[in-house]
Structure formats: C-alpha cells, structure tokens
Amino acid sequence: MTRALLPWLLIPLLTVLILVPVGFMFLGAFMSGALADPEAHLTLSKVAAVYTTLPFLRTLGSTLVIAFLVAIAATLGGVTMAWLTSRTDLPARPIMETCIIAPLFLSPFVGAIAWLVLGSPRAGLLNVIARAWFGTTGAVVNVATPSGIVLIMALYYLPYAYLTVAAALRNMDPSMEEAACVNGSGILGTALKVTLPVVRPALISAFFFIFVLACGTFAIPAVLDRASQVRFLAVDVFQASATYPIDYGTAAAIGTLLFWISVMGIAAYRFASRAARRFVTVTARGYRIRLVRLRWLRWPMAGLVGVYVVLSIVLPYLALVWSAFARAGGTIFAPVWTLANARGVLTSAEVAGATVNTLEVGLITPTLCVGLGLLIAYAVRRLRVPASNAIDYITMFSIAVPGIVFGTGVFWTYVLTPAYGTIAVLVLAFVAAYVPFAYRISDTALLQIDRALEEASLLCGAGNGRTLLRITLPLARPALLSAWIMVFIFAVREISAAVLLTSSDNVVLSVLSFNYLDFGDVPKAAVVGLLQTALLAAGVIAGRYVFRVKLSSQV
C-alpha cells in the first residue's frame, strides 16, 4: 500500500519543490528577458554565448581549475583534521571538533570581508602588524590574489570534508589499523597505508561534494578579486542577476552550465559513495575505539590543528570583532572601542524582527528537511518504490543549481501563491535547497541500519509507517540530529535565495546584513554576522551538549 502510494506523494512534492524551480532556470536560459516580460521571446543567443564564446569558456576553465584546487586542498586538510581528532590521542579533541566546524557559521560574504580586513596588502591588519613589529615592507599577506582566494575558499570548505571523513573514520574497524601496527608500520605508515585507503571512498565523496559547492560560490571571489585576476562563473551569475543591467537569461544560461558540471560531479559522487558503503559496516557490537598514540608528535600535531583554528576562526572572528567594535579612526595599536554599531543594530526594530524570523526559519527548515530527507531515503532505499532512481536524482538536483538562480526559479514557482512573501516561501526554498544534504545523511544512516531490524518489525505485524516511526527513526536518530544541525546552520546563513524571496514580513538576518553591506556599512554587517554566529553557536552547543548530537555524519 504505502509502497505504491508513496511515489504519488513524493513525485508531485519534489516536482514543485525542486523540478519546477530548476525548470524555470532552463526556460529562463532560452528567454531574451524576464519570464513574464511580454516583450521577451525565446532565443538561443544567451545559451549560445555562454556555451560557445571564449570569455565564458575561459571563465568556465578557470572555475573548474579553482574549484578543483579548492576541493583538493579542503579535502586534504579535512582528512588530516578528521584523522587527528577522531583516531589519535590529540589533546582537547572535543573542543577541537567544535572549533573545526566553526567556519560554517559565517556566511561566505561576511567571512570574505573579514579576510579582506585582515589580509588586504596595505591596510590589512596582519600586514600593518607585520610592518610595525617585524619591520617588513610591502605585503606579507595578500588575500586579494588567486592563491589567496583558493586558500580562503579551501579554509571555508574544509569543515565539509572534515564532517564526511570523520564519520567514516569513526565507523572504521580499528582492528585494521591494529593489524598494520602489529606488522610494524609506524603511526604515519599506518595512517597512509591502511587508514587512508579505507576512508578513500568517503574522501572522494567529500572531494566531489566540495567541488560542486565551490563551483557555485560567488561571495569569496567577488569580494576578494579586485583586479579581475580570477574568473569565476558564479560571480558572473551574481553580476548578471543582481547588478545592472539584470540579465536573467545569461545568469540562467550559466546556471545550466554549472548544472551540467554539478550533475557530473553528483554522478561521480554517487559512484564514490556507493563504493564507500562497502567499507562502512556498523555492527550492533560497536567498536571500542583504540586511539593512535602520537607520542612526540602529539603537541606538534596539536599545533597544526591550532594553526588551522587560528587561520579559519580566530583571525576572521577577531577581524569581525574589530570591524564591529573598533571605532573607524583608531589603529590596531591604539584602538578606540565603541558600542555604537552594536547598539545601533541591536536596538533597531528590523533586527528584532529579523532575529525572530531567522529563528523561525532556522527551526522549521531543518525539521521539515530532515523529515523529507528521511522519507525519501526510506522510500528509495527501503521500500524501493517505483521510480526510485528518478526520485534519487531529482532530490540531488538543487545542489547543482547556484543559489541565486534557484532562488529565481523559486520566485516564479510561488509568486502567485499565498506562500509568496511569507516565511513559508523561505522555508520551501531552503527545504528544497538543503534536502540533498538531509537525504544523503539519512540514506547513509539507513544503510548502516541492518535491514533485518526493520523486517523484524514488519513480521511482528507493524506496517511501514509504524516501522519507520518506532524502529528506523530511533535507530537513525544520531545521524538525523546531525543532519538537523547541518541544515540549521545552512538555513540561518543562506543569503542568495533569501534576498530574492524577501518581503516586508520575512526579513531574516542574512538579508539584513546583505542590505547593510549594500550601503557599505561593514560595521553593522559585522555585528549581524556576530549575532548570526551567536545563534548558530548556541544551537550547535545545545545540540552537542544537551541532545548529544555527534556533529560529523557521513554524507
């Protein structure tokens, strides 16, 4: 019964949530103007320009190169951090883990500005300090270079790799490592020869995942690239759809190009994560985790993690605190502190409203998203409903579309419905945008639950619904909670779609900070960034210590 009916529920739902907005992108790519513009007509010119002319193809090339470098760097960094915090006796591991994912709390736009404050060649705080203390000349650090952009994007995406790989490492049978140790391999030898190959599939998954996400990032290159050294398709999408003249057709055409790249990435990712499943076996016994003793390397390794924490969290947040609380006239050596910006932001009516809206969106979105993700995973993986493959692919589509283009599609989908202009439309857009994450995590969680546990329930006379509720849900709970936290972070932080769907009634903090930035008001945007971080940190800390959520989970 359920098995036959579920596709009839899921396919229309996913069609409205994901396929229609994506469809609007494809339609938009073939239109000369906005969809509702009576003068707009079908044209091949935008698609032809994007797919065949040199400027776009050059940009495509450099986008792929940058995304590739970012994915490599972030994955290598992430796997190192994951190994250190989940397999070794590194000091202060629990705190380290929270620190490692803290970069996720900042929206990329605010994060990029923080880096500009730190590392612009002349007035960047790091350069100013280096000149004063060490008498250097010129720029010690310059983030506004191609390598700076790649490094900062890598720092920013490292937590994604970390979360994926850490879960795989934790699920690995330690006896494999033990066997290698017994056979005389050193710590590093064991890590490289045994641990690494075992988590290689998770690593490949993380790589493709970051590659796809990096292709769609506009904020970091847009803020940091000041001399047009880095060409990035997502920046073109942003400029075509948010600055003058608005050229949605070109934005959509680039969106379709990114879509194909991402779909290839997803296919590779699916392949790699399928391979990953062969290795991940969780038995009821549960492993006694034996930690690798780093011995003399313990503190140097702690230092390595420390360097990452300083680079990706301490410095950017100090820069934000500096922007938010230091009076613009002071220098780093003689700062004049002020609460004026914070007071201005925190006492304003718009911030109060936006905070409430952010919390509403931030709580409803992950709840619906994880519910839907689990339902889809259950239908596809367990019930193997008809059209499972289609459902599986459609669910992944939204990850393949740049946020701003997807947001435009969502706009056209809902503009004539009562949801438009309300919190609901944001929730719908975010659920659609983030359901791939919730789905993937749920799917992996299901794979790790012995099917017999659910079959036993069926044979005891419980139907699929009761089985899902009484058996699957409680067993998948740890993974689902970590998915919840992840989507919570995304929903609080998301900008692109939120801006396109904002109204007087559903302003969220990220849109507010976007509007402050539009007026060049970096201090206020910094205050909002810190406020968002406080909300997210409170949520994550509550999750970790109240609900005992493990943050890392296999995607």
Q: Is 222 in the site for another protein (CB under 8 A)?
A: yes
Of residues 347 through 366, those in contact with another protein by CB under 8 A are 348-350
Q: Which of 21, 169, 204, 225 binds another protein (CB under 8 A)?
A: 225
CA atoms of 526 and 534, how far apart (whole Å): 12
Q: Is 107 in the site for another protein (CB under 8 A)?
A: no
Q: Is 424 in the site for another protein (CB under 8 A)?
A: no
List Cβ neighbours of 386 (8 Å cut-off, separation of 6 or more): 4, 7
Find the shortest distance in angstroms from Cβ 87 to another protein.
23
| 8 Å CB contact between 325 and 339 | yes
Identify the three-state secondary structure at position 31: strand
Of residues 489 through 518, those in contact with another protein by CB under 8 A are 499-500, 502-505, 507, 512, 515-518
How many residues bind another protein (CB under 8 A)? The answer is 98
Q: Is 91 in the site for another protein (CB under 8 A)?
A: no
Find the shortest distance in angstroms from Cβ 124 to another protein.
7
Phi, psi angle pair for 528, to nearest 5°:
-65, -40
Q: Is 20 in the site for another protein (CB under 8 A)?
A: no
> Cβ–Cβ contacts within 10 Å for residue 289, how many?
11
Q: Is 237 in the site for another protein (CB under 8 A)?
A: yes
Q: Is 382 in the site for another protein (CB under 8 A)?
A: no
CA atoms of 307 and 299, how far apart (whole Å): 12
Cα–Cα nearest to 205, from 151, 115, 268, 252: 268
Q: Which is nearer to another protein, 87 or 524 (CB)?
A: 524
Q: Is 546 in the site for another protein (CB under 8 A)?
A: no
Cα–Cα nearest to 77, from 2, 157, 143, 195: 157
Q: Is 137 in the site for another protein (CB under 8 A)?
A: no
Find the shortest distance in angstroms from Cβ 458 to another protein.
4
CA distances from 272 to 165, 204, 277, 486, 492 (A): 13, 6, 9, 22, 30
List Cβ neighbours of 17 (8 Å cut-off, separation of 6 or more): 428, 431, 432, 435
Cα–Cα nearest to 235, from 254, 260, 211: 254
Point out which span in 8-16, 49-57, 79-87, 535-543 binds another protein (CB under 8 A): 49-57
CA atoms of 108 and 507, how far apart (whole Å): 19
Point out which span in 23-31, 110-118, 361-369, 529-537 binds another protein (CB under 8 A): 110-118
Q: Which of 65, 298, 462, 550 binds another protein (CB under 8 A)?
A: 462
Peptide bond just before 245 cis, omega within 30 deg: yes
Q: Is 199 in the site for another protein (CB under 8 A)?
A: no
> Cβ–Cβ contacts within 10 Å for residue 482, how many?
24
Q: Which is nearer to another protein, 187 or 282 (CB)?
A: 282
| 8 Å CB contact between 309 and 99 | yes
The C-alpha angle 439, 69, 498, rounded to 5 degrees, equals 45
Q: Is 76 in the site for another protein (CB under 8 A)?
A: no
Q: Which of 31, 117, 199, 555 binds another protein (CB under 8 A)?
A: 117
Q: Is 227 in the site for another protein (CB under 8 A)?
A: yes
List Cβ neighbours of 541 (8 Å cut-off, separation of 6 or more): 98
**Beta-ladder partners of 337:** 326
Q: Which residues of 457-478 are buried (b: 16+ CB within 10 A; e: fewer)?
A: beeeebebeebbeebbeebbee
Of residues 175 through 194, those in contact with another protein by CB under 8 A are none
Identify the three-state secondary structure at position 292: strand
Q: Is 245 in the site for another protein (CB under 8 A)?
A: yes
Q: Is 421 in the site for another protein (CB under 8 A)?
A: yes
Q: Which of 182, 284, 334, 546 binds another protein (CB under 8 A)?
A: 284
Point out which span in 12-20, 149-157, 255-263, 415-423 binds another protein (CB under 8 A): 415-423
Q: Which of 95, 356, 453, 538 binds another protein (CB under 8 A)?
A: 453
Point out which span in 122-130, 266-274, 305-313, 394-402 binds another protein (CB under 8 A): 122-130
Q: Which of 43, 98, 185, 338 binds another protein (CB under 8 A)?
A: 338
Find the shortest distance in angstroms from Cβ 351 to another protein.
9
Q: Which is nearer to another protein, 301 or 528 (CB)?
A: 528
Burial class (CB in 10 A: 0-12, 13-18, 19+), 367: middle
Q: Is 370 in the site for another protein (CB under 8 A)?
A: no
Q: Which is nearer to another protein, 25 or 435 (CB)?
A: 25
Phi, psi angle pair for 361, to nearest 5°:
-60, -40
Q: Is 442 in the site for another protein (CB under 8 A)?
A: no
CA atoms of 34 and 248, how far apart (whole Å): 7
Q: Is 328 in the site for another protein (CB under 8 A)?
A: yes
